[in-house]
Chain A
Amino acid sequence: MKLFLYISSFIIVCLAPFMGEINLDFNEIFNTSSTTYTIFWDLRVSRVVLAFFVGGILALGGLIFQIIFKNQLITPYTLGIASGTTLFTAISIVFFPAMYMPISSVMGSLVTILILYFISKQINKSSIAVSTNSILLIGIALSYFYSSALMLVFYMSNLQENYSIVRFTLGSLDTVGFTSALIIMAVSVIFYAVIYSNKEKIKLLLICNDTAFLKGLNVHKINLILLIVVSLSVGVCISFVGPIGFIGLVVPHIIKLIYKQSADKLFFPVFFFGGIFLVFSDLISRNLNTDSSLPIGVVTAFIGAPFFVYLLVRRSKVK
């Protein structure tokens, strides 16, 4: 099963740059003066690289969030980080057009997660455990707040700004050249390194917060470090490609079901197959017979939402 997955992912990655609206001639790829060369390298390959690393960050970020909050259903999206980022981006589109957009997006994700963490800590002050139920509820409340605030921003924006906000929320992996891909790649290297270097501590968090505390781990500190690193990385991703949902939820679950190992051994597979999942979704979105490519958020949600429901049903059966 694992070998099959790795082989098919390899095939997907190899095929991905060749399939698209314009058919490419294989012989022209290395001919620097042809249009094929430009399309292949600057549009397609850079897009695949971007998709791979964004997918990896979103999937591994989902896994880490599930470990911190001890809940299988929590991802940066269900907690309202995506809506926070969207709102801050919309605000910067409408009110501060001169500002570099990614900065406000990253701010949005960071502000959201810090609000969540400190409110939930306030709720159970003397205890080590973060109550996952209360944090999920606060996340939902925040999401509602953000979406109504987004409505307000929509209401105050003109037609063109309105259009750019909608385009942003749909999510898009459109990219020209390698700048975005390289930035995201650098972010994911740092992101992965931080998580990997804290592997032993994350292992203890897999049991429960109380146990981790009794084994001498500073639970608050490690939780805070991980939360900030994940939210920053996810925030950067969102600022480049828009909110792409469900990867952080779907991929860790599938990988757990296939590997049947504790989460600390799954960092690499989750990151890798998260990337492949997004490359694959992007491949579908570009190759359906429509006038232009489908928004990527639509494709991942179409695959992800039914799976989410399936997981809920299965979970209640197991209990």
Chain B
Amino acid sequence: MLEINNYNSEILHNISFSLKENENLIILGENGAGKSTLAKVLSNLITNNKVQLFHEEIDKINDLKRAQLINYIPPKLSIFDEYVTLKEFLELSTIENVNNEKIDNLIKVLKLEKLKDRYCKAFSSGEKQLLLLASSIMHDAKITIFDELTANLDISRLKEVFDIFNSDLLKQKIIITHNLDLAYALKFKILFLKDGKIEFFGEHDEFFSNENLKKFYNNTILKLDKHLVVNL
């Protein structure tokens, strides 16, 4: 249960919408539309009092409880210490007691065994994004916001991430992406941002009608036989 009422700032204007419990969302929009800013507002990284999490004002929830309710996964792993290993990072990602079995299991599922004792700072961009995904599963918040998680993944990895998004390994998900194939395949609710305003908020089928695609993407995207085609 997530609600934002009439949030305004230099970047975002008049943002109001609400999600029911366990209702997933995909946020789309051009570069600079304010997607990441919106995510930071929702997770209180940008302090505000317009967001309601499970009927409580986000500003007033205590830190630990807020951490259990909402988590934000940034587009890039930012890590200060050079010598934190993957396993240590996953231990730190857990907010309650560390469960080693779960960590080992997760490493197996994501095929990260080779990286287990290596330093996170030396990972490739794709590996870092898988690590962030693993960390979100360890954190296991009620709502997880992913900011461009799939940007640097190869196709087979993308399929794995899709399967995880599509499973119930994570509870409620909000996914920011530029990957329309992913957005189309996931069948979540859609929110489209343009210049800091909500241009569209509604069901998946409605957004991916040819009429709306034309409106939001200027004829660059077409739907042919249930597949999206980029028309360059």
Contact = CB atoms under 8 A, between A and B. Distances in A.
Contact of A210 (B63, B65, B66, B78): B78
A317 interface: no
Contacts of A211: 78
Contacts of B85: 262
Given A214-B71, A215-B92, A215-B139, A127 B83 contact: no
Interface string A284-313: 000000000000000000000000000000
Q: Which of A67, A70, A211, A215 counts the most B-chain CB atoms under 10 A from its CB?
A: A211
A262 B45 contact: no
B8 to A, nearest CB: 14
B88 interface: yes
Contact of A207 (B66, B68, B80): B80
Contact of A206 (B45, B64, B67, B80): B80
A18 interface: no
A216 B66 contact: yes
Contact of B45 (A127, A203, A207): A127
A150 B81 CA distance: 37
Given A211-B78, A214-B43, A215-B139, 13 more contacts: A206-B84, A207-B79, A207-B81, A207-B92, A215-B67, A216-B65, A216-B66, A216-B67, A217-B63, A256-B82, A262-B81, A262-B83, A262-B84
Interface in A191-244: 203-208, 210-211, 213-218
Nearest to A211: B78
5 contacts: A207-B89, A213-B45, A216-B68, A260-B83, A262-B81
A126 B46 CA distance: 6
Contacts of B139: 214-215
Interface in B63-100: 63-68, 71-72, 74, 78-85, 88-89, 92-93, 95
Interface string A256-269: 10011111000000
Contacts of B47: 126
A259 B83 CA distance: 9
A115 to B, nearest CB: 23
Contacts of B81: 67, 206-207, 262-263
A128 B45 contact: yes
A262 B74 CA distance: 22
Q: How large is the interface on B (under 10, 10 to 19, 20 to 34, 35 or more residues)?
A: 20 to 34
A216 B78 CA distance: 17
A153 B81 CA distance: 41
A294 B78 CA distance: 44
Given A126-B47, A207-B89, A216 B82 contact: no
Contacts of B95: 215-216
Contacts of B83: 256, 259-263
A89 B64 CA distance: 43
Nearest to A67: B80
A208 B83 CA distance: 14
Contacts of B46: 126-127
B84 A207 contact: yes
A168 B65 CA distance: 50
A215 B80 contact: no
A128 B72 CA distance: 14
A214 B80 contact: no
Nearest to B88: A262
Contacts of A213: 45, 63
A214 B78 contact: no
A102 B232 CA distance: 73
Interface string A43-70: 0000000000000000000000001001
Contacts of A260: 83
B81 to A, nearest CB: 4
Interface in A121-139: 126-128
B92 A204 contact: yes
